[in-house]
Amino acid sequence: MEYLIDYGLFLAKTATIVFAIILILGAIASAGQRQRKDGKKGSLKITELNSHYEDIRDDLRQEVLSKEEYKQLQKQEKKAEKAERKAEKQAVKQADSDAELAVERKPRTYVLNFKGNIGADAVASLREEITAVLSLAEISDSVMLRLESPGGMVHAYGLASSQLVRIKNQQIPLTICVDKVAASGGYMMACLADKLVAAPFSIIGSIGVLIQMPNFHRILKKNDVDFEMISAGEYKRTLSTFGEVTQKGRDKAQEDVESIHQIFKTWVKDYRPSIDIDKIATGETWLGTQAKERYMVDEIKTSDECILEACKTSDVFEVEYEFKKSLQEKLGNAASAVVDSLYNRFIAEPNNDKYQ
């Protein structure tokens, strides 16, 4: 009898697991269908940074100041806000046209973010953000890009740079802030700024081009393994992982690298004519302060300082475009986050302790 009870419990557990799996698969399929029906690829996330920083300041004042001091400040601020709103209403009444209204409003600063990898994948969001901003921005407004990138593939960063050219073509002032690194393709983007700002210890430069790959031809030859590659065109493949590297192929690859490097140098010189391109286009990198001495950046400060300064005179909005993620992607990201957490907890953190 006890055996039958255990067996029944086992069947119940199995049925529950199977039912849960079916529900999950159904949810995944349903989510995929809903996503296909909805034509939107994603959505804009807008954050008003003026209010964000005011809230932070207010939280601190509430804790630090006495109740009397805090109440007095609140009264003064409310009085100033009331006067400002009254002035705005009067300006609206006196305005005779939409053009005059446009002149009266405060300028807006749109803050974008670009965190680059080898493939410059963030360009997918960047192009949507720029399209949205340019549909509304006027010459009195400005764009601020917080840029972080060690560089990557030429064509990917060429596209990312071309997106920033769209801002310049519409004559919207562009400030680019580098807090950590803008190297190689990252600097290709950064040099487009009307004002390029870098933190003191940020990494700037690496104006160079690199091709590298392992070659296993000698290993294959040693083990009597043939590698066949059929191509049309003399230089269709100059270097490959398994084929023999000939001097002719090596020379052609070097020629291509030199050609791309020259185009890169011309690009940087066109947008930052004050620099001595031959001295900085060596593939070297410099700290922000060193880069300023070479006229590679305009000012030494962090993006936080730039945003706080903008908040004094402008309405500042952070604009982020978020692509829709399927349930599969969400589950994958969750699993990846768990793996990263375990790695940091049991591998990275113990190793870091050695250097403290």
The residues that are catalytic are: 184, 236
Q: What angle do CA 158, 41, 25 make, to 5 degrees?
A: 120
User: Is-contact 123 155, C-beta < 8 A?
Assistant: no
Are 132 and 126 within 8 A, CB to CB?
no
Distances (CA, A) of 352 to 229, 248, 292, 343, 348: 46, 47, 32, 12, 6
Q: Are strands 195-198 and 299-300 parallel, antiparallel or unpaired?
A: parallel
What is the signed CA dihedral for 203, 205, 208, 214, rounded to 10 degrees? 0
Q: How far apart are CA 239 and CA 82, in angstroms?
A: 70
Q: Packing angle between helix 49-64 and helix 67-94, nearest 10 degrees?
A: 150
